[in-house]
Amino acid sequence: MSLFSKPAARARPTTRRDLLSSAAALLLLCSAAEAPLAQDVSETTTFNLNAATILDIQAAFDAGALTAEELVKMYLARIALYDDHGPALNAIITINPDALEIARALDEERAQQGPRSPVHGIPMLFKDNYDTFDMPTTGGSDVLAGSVPPDDAYTVEQLRAAGAIILGKANLSEFATPAGRGAYSSINDVTKNPFRLESDPAGSSGGSGASIAANFATIAFGTDTGGSIRGPAAANGVVGIRPTYGLISRDGIIPQALSLDTAGPLARNVTDAAIVLSIMAGSDPNDATTALGMEHAADYTQFLDLEALAGARIGVVQNFFGGDPEVDGLVNAAVAEMQALGAEAVEVSFDPAFLDTFGGLRDIINSEFGPYLEDYLATLADGYPKTLAEVVALYESPEIMDSPTPINPGLIETHKTNLEIAGLEGEDYLRVINTVLPEIQATVVAFMDTHDLDALVWPTSRCTASARWNLTDPDRVCQSGPGGNSVGSYGHVPDLQVPVGYTSRGLPVTISFVGRPFSEPTLIGFAYAYEQATMHRILPPLFPALPGEVFEY
């Protein structure tokens, strides 16, 4: 019997509300509470679900102290208790109805043949713009409700083949476009920030970021066009990687702006991010940009070096400070900690005229959205829209407009504008793609060369998480100014985020490590050395560990 079943197209997606009823939630919770028995040995190991890396989980598997089925039950229990009830985080759109069956099969395979890879039996969540052949992929939009794509996205296929369990799909800004509403979608409403429920987890990968902060899976995946991995990493206090453009395939991911789009992980620690990046990276004939990164893909775990910062020269980019004194203080303290680990820190600044060149670029690049979305829509079953015009018409249909979660008005206006500018042959568009973006990358590399820098650092976000779109936060401090996300997006360079602590209001802050194209090995080493020396990330207080999540063996 096949491990994977394909639900019928055009049905409303199976949600956690369907699968995790109160009775089922209680059953799963009781199941999770049955901790494995400790081994009768003189030395024991403490397993902590929140703190465990993928390697720690594999060690527990190998010792017979944990199974993939038990691990899935632990996460399902957390989702049942915390996502739809209690704090009601609302981060998950779909739970894989076959997750436990798949876990049992992978446990049996491990027993008979050994693990396929370090992610064998590891439960993962994907932003709901990654295609999955056995679950709907909606982009967060009611216009794609129930749409089951013909196959997996390339990255999903790679991870599934390596033995990963696709636990479910995470909420997002509809079609990866926040448009003033953060992590809101017409199919799942708005996701909350696990550290302050009135705050936003940031868009557009907000569901993925919030899920990992609340420990609903071992790892999650997002996409990043203008900051959609980096913003959620900062707002939720987790590790994120926007990789170099071309390192990871985007095939089978609903596009936003393909000249900028990339996939990447959101993780609880640098180790896990390095493990999955090693599997995701590489050449895909269905995404020509991966020819750029084919020679650079690697086993990134070899760069997890505690001494990596010794002798490193770090540029602390001053342009992106000044949003919030507490954010600045935490990032500056992180720089001091790096210096204590042997790094040399140098204050540097980009020429403001260089940053000004970013203005207006996104408006021009948005002309890609219509044509590339329509390429994606052409792969879907009959009964779904095939053009952006049809999508917009459905937005304004009474069925959707009068629903409890109508389309974000800002998204409707954005897509109407995209209809007017759609096209890949415009003079301004071709100039940006062929000339401006390469010049930005060259400027970033020349800046690092001039100052003899191994990496750049700055606050990932100038300020802490903002209030959710329909709420206010009068106590939030935020002075507007330039942010660093455009450097990675338009420069096509990697940006890795790591937690540096929490403000007096309990909101997380992260620092970005940014480097030359395909410098992921260097950034992973720096981030790991800093992380392991500080270990700032915590479980949000509203989402404590459940019985059975901490045990000895």
Which pLDDT tens digit goes with each residue over 472-499?
Answer: 999 999 999 999 999 999 999 999 999 9
Tell me if 365 is assigned to some domain.
yes
**pTM above threshold 0.85:** yes
Judge whether 390 lies within some domain.
yes
Residue 495 vs residue 19, higher pLDDT: 495
Q: Are 514 and 486 in contact (CB under 8 A)?
A: no
In 438-486, which ranges are E strands?
455-459
Which sign, positive or negative, has the C-alpha torsion 265, 270, 272, 274?
positive
Instruction: Flag whether 270 is in a domain.
Output: yes
337 domain residue, yes or no = yes
Number of domains in the chain: 1
SS (H, E, C) 121-188: CCEEEEECCECCCCCCCCCCCHHHCCCCCCCCCHHHHHHHHCCCEEEEEECCCHHHCCCCCCCEECCC
Q: What is the CATH number of the domain that holds 289?
A: 3.90.1300.10
* Residue 142 near residue 148 (C-beta atoms within 8 A): no
Annotated catalytic residues are 127, 204, 228
Provide the pLDDT for residue 292.
Answer: 85
Give the span between the Cα atoms of 51 and 417, in whole angstroms.
45
Asked if residue 12 is part of any domain, the answer here is no
Whether the predicted pLDDT of 444 surpasses 80? yes
Residue 248 within any structural domain of the chain:
yes
Q: What is the pLDDT of residue 42?
A: 64
Q: Read off the pLDDT of each residue in 289-309 and give the average, rounded to a whole number.
A: 95
| Mean pLDDT (whole number) for 147-163 | 98
Q: Tell me how far apart the terminal alpha carbons of the chain are, to the nearest angstrom.
A: 34
Q: pLDDT of 346-386, one tens digit each?
A: 999 999 999 999 999 999 999 999 999 999 999 999 999 99
Mean pLDDT score of the chain = 93
Task: Render pLDDT for 275-289 as a digit per residue (tens, 0 to 9).
Answer: 999 999 999 999 999
3-state secondary structure of 93: strand
**Higher-confidence position of 141 and 37:** 141
Whether residue 224 lies inside any domain: the answer is yes
Residue 122 lies in a domain: yes
Q: What is the domain extent for residue 227?
A: 47-543
Q: Contact, 176 vs 223, CB < 8 A? A: yes
